[in-house]
Structure 1
Amino acid sequence: MAEDWRIDRLDEIRTLIKQAEPDVVEEAKWRKPSNPDGVPAFSLDGLICTLEMYQGKVKLTFAKGASIDDPDKLFNASMQAGVRRAIDLREDDELDPEAFKALIREAVRVNRR
């Protein structure tokens, strides 16, 4: 079986989240028979984001994304949602590490309001 690029991307994102906010807690949430490992959820003073693998993409959903300043325009999904916003990453998509870490720090700042 070929290497699954999504697993490497998840590891990369986990590392960036911890670099941005070392006190972030990762928990597996919403376990069910179709997803026994659950969904990785990252929290600090409230839920920051979840990280999921789908066919052909990795999705980061920010719980309070609509309230988060996104000057680098990383959000590209769930743009019409009332509260959340998401980032869909496909195999060849670039993710600016510094812009992403800034987004994580902003999400924590919003949680602390």
Structure 2
Amino acid sequence: MGATQHYRVRMAQEDETPVAETTPAQHIDAMIAAHPDWRGALLADARTAILAVDPAIEETWKWRGAPVWELEGILVVGNVFQQAVKLGFMYGASLADPDGLFNDELGGNQRRAIKYSAGGTFDAPALQALVRRAIDHNHARRAASRRR
């Protein structure tokens, strides 16, 4: 999925004529704007930090309303909840977390998440280090699948 991929979004009319083209980045912008409190600000900061790690990271929009950042596979899925913002790492269980960011979804053998609450701290460098490890993990998975 490319960063420039467009999604067709139906307008309120039933006659099938007006259709707006919306990019994943526009969906994420709208999600941030729809949460003008700390949640939108934190998601915006996380987005900036994630995208700064590697210019090849692509923003996508999946699962009926989730921003997703990908590079050779899914890296991070963002979600905004009433009392939290969650950044889920698809293969988080395989990533070293020396900064102790993972604090949610700890019981599974694949995913891990960082759950932020109001007043919590956001450590951009630690998040970026985790994203780098996720990129390395995706590269290794892709290389291993090519060797088979």
Query: What TM-score comes out, normalization by structure 2 length?
Result: 0.69
User: What secondary structure does 2:60 align onto?
Assistant: strand
Matched, 1:60 2:92: no
AA aligned opposite 1:17: I
Tell me, yes or no, if the aligned pair for 1:29 and 1:41 is still in contact at 8 Å.
yes
Q: For 1:41 and 1:19, locate their aligned partners in 2 and report how far apart those are by CA, in whole Å.
A: 15
Q: For 2:91 and 2:49, locate their aligned partners in 1 and report how far apart those are by CA, in whole Å.
A: 19
Runs of 4+ in 1 over 2 A off after TM superposition: none
Q: Larger radius of gyration, structure 1 or 2?
A: 2
Query: What TM-score comes out, normalization by structure 1 length?
Result: 0.89
More helix by share: 2
Distance apart, 1:91 and its partner CA? 1.4
RMSD of the TM alignment (CA)?
1.2
Contiguous gaps of at least 5 residues in structure 2: 1-34, 141-148
Matched, 1:26 2:35: no
Q: For 2:58 and 2:47, locate their aligned partners in 1 and report how far apart those are by CA, in whole Å.
A: 11
Q: For 2:123 and 2:113, locate their aligned partners in 1 and report how far apart those are by CA, in whole Å.
A: 15
Higher relative contact order (CA 8 A, sep 6+): 1
Q: Report sequence identity in percent.
A: 39
Provide the aligned length of Structure 1 versus Structure 2: 106
Q: For 1:112 and 1:82, locate their aligned partners in 2 and report how far apart those are by CA, in whole Å.
A: 19
The counterpart of 2:113, out of the listed 86, 99, 113, is 86
Q: For 2:73 and 2:36, locate their aligned partners in 1 and report how far apart those are by CA, in whole Å.
A: 34
User: What secondary structure does 1:92 align onto?
Assistant: coil
Distance apart, 1:30 and its partner CA? 1.1
Q: For 1:96 and 1:74, locate their aligned partners in 2 and report how far apart those are by CA, in whole Å.
A: 9
AA aligned opposite 2:113: A
Superposed CA offset, 1:53-84 (max 9, x none): 01110000000000011111100001111100
